[in-house]
Amino acid sequence: MTSRPERDLSVPGGEVEAIGEAVDGTEEQGPGADGVEGRLAEGSDADVWSEQPEAGQPTEGVADQLSQASETILTDVAALTAERDEYLAAFQRSQADFANSRKRVLRQQEELGARAVSDLVRKLLPVLDTLDLAIAHLGTTPQEGACEQEEAQDGAAAERPPAALDALHQARSQLLDILAKEGLERVDAVEVAFDPSVHEAVAHVVSEGAPPAEEGGPTVAEVMRPGYRWRGQTLRAAMVRVRG
């Protein structure tokens, strides 16, 4: 077996010193480079943070957007408020018109009802006149009719039974009572002042020894046909003879 020749690995002294100086120089430059990179990193971070806005202070663009949005909201609120007020006013007017219309309809119904009743009572007045004439023809009271029947000698007087006169009085009294409860007033008083609203003068009486007329106008001397008032309104004026 042959042996390999050994290499000379020794380094001259001068070269060893040069290598050592190079290594020392590299070690001295390392911390300096790291310091520069750190300073650069710190500077970039500082610039980044300096560009970011502080908390609670929006940027100029965001502030403009918020201002425009606020103005739009206020405009919409004002428009909606005006529309609400318009609808409210229209509703109130409609409600008032409905209330007035309802009152007007009720008033018209009452007037129509009162007019219908008044017309009915006016149509019944001839019935009352007929009863008055019948009673006046047969006698003022049933007792007078009975006396006249006993005293009468002819057949015409005998044909007036007290029962018929009593029935006429009852019918007239019942009809007058019912109408009086509803508001009918009979105008048949004598020796009262003449009132053109309820009296109709058809004759004038001048008699000697008559009591003087009251100051202010003539008086009613006789009622030829009674008049009637219905709830304060004159249905028919009384036909009277006046004196004075």
What pLDDT digit, counting tens, does each position of 7-65 carry? 554 445 555 454 455 445 544 444 444 554 554 455 444 444 445 555 555 577 788 88
- Share in percent of the chain as helix, strand, coil (round to 5): 65, 15, 25
What burial class does residue 240 get, using C-beta atoms within 10 Å of its C-beta: 0-12 exposed, 13-18 middle, 19+ buried? buried
Q: Is the pLDDT of residue 99 over 50?
A: yes
User: Residue ranges per domain, the chain?
Assistant: 185-244
Q: Residue 212 gets which letter from DSSP? A: P
Q: What is the pTM of this model?
A: 0.53
Q: Could you give the CA distance from residue 67 to residue 148 in angstroms, rounded to a whole number? A: 113
Q: What is the assigned CATH class of domain 185-244?
A: mainly beta
